[in-house]
Amino acid sequence: MLSSFPSHQPSIVDSAHFIVIGSGIAGLYSALELSKTGSVILITKSALTESNTTYAQGGIASALDTHDSPELHYQDTIMAGAGLCDSEAVLALVYDGPKRVKHLIELGVPFDRDQENKISLTREAAHSRRRILHADGDATGREISKTLIAKVRQSNIKVYEDCYSLALATDANKQCRGVVVILNGELKLFLASAVILCTGGLGQIYGKTTNPSIATGDGMALAYNTGAALRDLEFIQFHPTALYLPPAPPFLISETVRGEGAILLNSKGQRFMPDYHPLAELAPRDIVARAIFAEIQRCGTPSVFLDLSKLSPSLIKERFPNIYETCLNYGLDITTNLIPVAPAAHYVMGGVVTNLQGQTSIPGLFAAGEVAATGVHGANRLASNSLLEGLVFAGRIADYLSKNPLTSVVITDQLQLHYPQLLTEYDSLEQDLQSLHEIMDRYLGIVRTETNLVKALNLIKKRNTTKVNHFELNPAYFELQNMYTLAQLMLKAALTRVESRGGHFRADCPNPENEWRKHIVFKKSDQTEAIMEVVE
């Protein structure tokens, strides 16, 4: 096996037809569907239950109601995407969505129902209809995860938890053939005919984020180090309403709270959203987040407030039990008090470029969920389309591989292992992570400028990228490297896009420009600098 990693060769520990990396909705569902075709190994760096999906509150969008249609869902998604959605990908999402969501119901996901036992639907920002399915009020992701994990545990899928994916392996034909992991402090190699990345997003690049600690961009870095294309990394969605109650960490206050009638007030007690958009609190997320940011700046306070007074205490406890209990644990009773909120990094619209079957630019490597750039979200994701995208494209990958099987013969002595380049300079993992958080929160937040982006890029570039012979097999060390690598690409993209669109807002060029209805794509080169292209 060919390797650029100093003096470390992994031993082969297991093999299967398919390897799925990640245990959110995309990973669990693709593993279950692929198990109908062949053997499956599911790898996750923490516990199966730890994923962005588990923390998803609002729900999953699907045009199931008689007053709704895939066409209307399509229009809402295109509108939110600010001119950069791939129309074919959106069509796949909205037309495949109802079938896949019905499959979740068949699998036993306990979506909430009304008194007539019909699926209960709510509305969220930028949706023209009530089409959001939810479970246990505001614990939709958790209930989906519980159901799918139970099915995985009952299947013949091999599960490896606490298993950190470090490098992908390709054969002499440049086809992805497996993954090198850190398992019990040692390097191990898993082999397969196809690898499916379902590793989620990169929210931990920011200090203020709604994402759990596992969201460190590992899948994007794995793909990038192997030569796959990454796209649209400048488009970061900041959720408008994360709990602001230091020292409590940011905690997501679901969009559905506003969908049910809550309003936003500034520190002077004034409702402000009607001044920013005709849809007021139900405007697209990027608009609401920037409006809150503007009010915080104007009033000189660290937060604004969500007013739930139009909602009865019984409705609040029934629809939002998780939010209610969490806030109560921090001494805040949301049935009688305003909720202090501020925006926090929530979702990346970009990722590993895929086609409609989830194929990346590396043969045998697929991606689904937040790690992927399918083109569904454009410059700004429509609320509750994230769980749906992971579900739909995971299913499409499984369908494709069931009809187009890949050869499973692997010649191990011809494998190339695409390890990350090692960084030599860091004071400590904690200090370097804090430094990264400060840079990204300050310079690549909701409002950006050329001056600040250049400053941030120079700070990131100060890190040494010389290869070294001494390092530790500590996953946290490689997570940090992944985040610094991706942060540099994100900053370059934001500096290159001299306009404002969706989740990318430049105060020095605040309007969208027709000439920038394009995508910024990165590929790794043999040199230290990435190859960047601007494409239609």
For 155, residues 6+ apart whose C-beta sits below 8 A from its C-beta are: 32, 35
Other C-beta atoms lying within 10 Å of the C-beta of residue 533: 12
d(CA 253, CA 256): 8
Indicate if 290 belongs to the active site.
no
Tally of CA atoms within 13 A in the half-sphere of 445 that contains its CB: 20
Report whether 25 contacts 394 (CB < 8 A). Answer: yes
Other C-beta atoms lying within 10 Å of the C-beta of residue 117: 7
Given 123, 131, 285, 381, which residue is catalytic? 285
Return the closest-CA partner of residue 148 out of 16, 243, 35: 35
d(CA 514, CA 334): 44
For 358, residues 6+ apart whose C-beta sits below 8 A from its C-beta are: 196, 366, 367, 368, 372, 374, 393, 394, 396, 397, 400
Return the closest-CA partner of residue 283 out of 392, 159, 447, 291: 291
d(CA 46, CA 241): 27
For 30, residues 6+ apart whose C-beta sits below 8 A from its C-beta are: 20, 196, 198, 368, 394, 395, 397, 398
- Point out the residues that are catalytic: 285
